[in-house]
Structure 1
């Protein structure tokens, strides 16, 4: 009898766990996609049906009402799936100012024209002067690339950016970000449930790096990447291709599969197909260490030295008070940079 009970438990526990996971997923999907009252009503019905199904799993077989619950669950699952597939990304929303425009690029040989390059002047996280620019670049003058990690939630999670440097000293940063609406704030959980579209931002360093180090108080680290001119060009053009794709076809940001770190990894894999998958692609705060292990950072230094010298916040804050060139100032003393911070 005990063996029969144990067997019944082993059979029913997975079904109960599956129902619990489906219930939690449905609740979160409704919460992040519907207004409060409709989400509450639909969530109550979804949970009630799930509880009834769990009770039915543990009741003795042969009860007629179990067939009715099974049918109701099937109908609800199909309805939920159909509704979820109807949730589509869009370019037509009331966007927050800093993600209001999409990057647009024209490439003619080495000549690149970028429209909607962001160059906001940030006084604080909420006070700023908007400025969108058209810029022209010569890919033959592409000289460097730097990996930037901005820590906003402890030591294991960071926002990943790549800053390209040109021979004339100009810098251009690419960053894949959530495309917030005016009323929205970032949610890592919401990123699993199609709460945000994604946008590829091209911006000046004084905008996109300074706002993190100086306006938001995030901890920002910068590392010189080891790349040939051909690799620099390939990754730069890869970002432009990603921007063109998003401009043509909107897409959802996903906390796990389509985020600021995965786009860097995907572009890097185009020039180094053998790059391995690694937990540090998810724990993005350790992505620089992953790059170091793959030989992608400047050689000749232990990783801890690169990390220590790559911490830019004191220099970034000082650049605000002494009027020095921001991009030069934050690079002073970083391995792989020229004495002048290039």
Structure 2
């Protein structure tokens, strides 16, 4: 890929993508229409954190819930962390929720509720990485910043037929995106590229026949669009084993609060056996008694490993537990406990099995 070949091609790409966006921009609750006033930085930040490794379809309802319940960053900062984590339940990647809360508190208490405009300053906020800082700077404040998410990565890799496999290829992809990002309107352009990747330049079966930059696309010229971006061979995921414990009395089930650090930190859950990404759980119950074990009732996939879960049900009438982090939760209100998807799956299995 010759960087010297960018200027003329870059201008044509920028112009065509920008024009396409004016007529075809997706209507999303956190966006402003093309060419209009800049959106609320709080909405941009919130949506970008939620959208990390998560689809637009999954995020919309959570965004609505958060903005209705906590209309400003000060409102979010004044919430209880447990309530924020519970409202996030089901969206996954829960470290984002913890950092979201930390960032809200930092902005509200240290910055008087005002998000910084510069990319370099945004990078200092908890949970804000290079992509998110660039996206907020460009979309919320109109700064020229180079925004590269997964959709843009795919689009740009194809436009310039970037052969270097990921993750090393990201340096070249960013340089290419830098070359085609206009000096003014970088936020609209970034969102235009996101939309292109989400709706036209898709992973499988890209809609090249309606693509506004088909004539500028090196991958289309070579007839090998789906080859890009080049990815390293997939590694087999290790499979871990876990055991959850079901302790029920008088229409309530015993829940625990997970340790603040580590996976699903600070979330409510069923008591479990200390499983982790790097090891199986110990399968030892939290108290002595008769337990009926149901094997492999839940299979759940994380980014780097898969988890198979047994559910052990306590069979004795007498229940003795004095753990401070245990909570008795009414089963008819279990949907409002804010359980992560993994634990919600086990609850769903058990309640269905009881019928």
TM-score range for the pair, normalised by the shorter chain length:
under 0.3
Which structure would you say has the larger Rg?
A: 1
Q: Which has the higher strand share?
A: 1
TM-score if structure 2 supplies the norm length? 0.26
The two structures have a TM-score, normalised by structure 1, of: 0.27
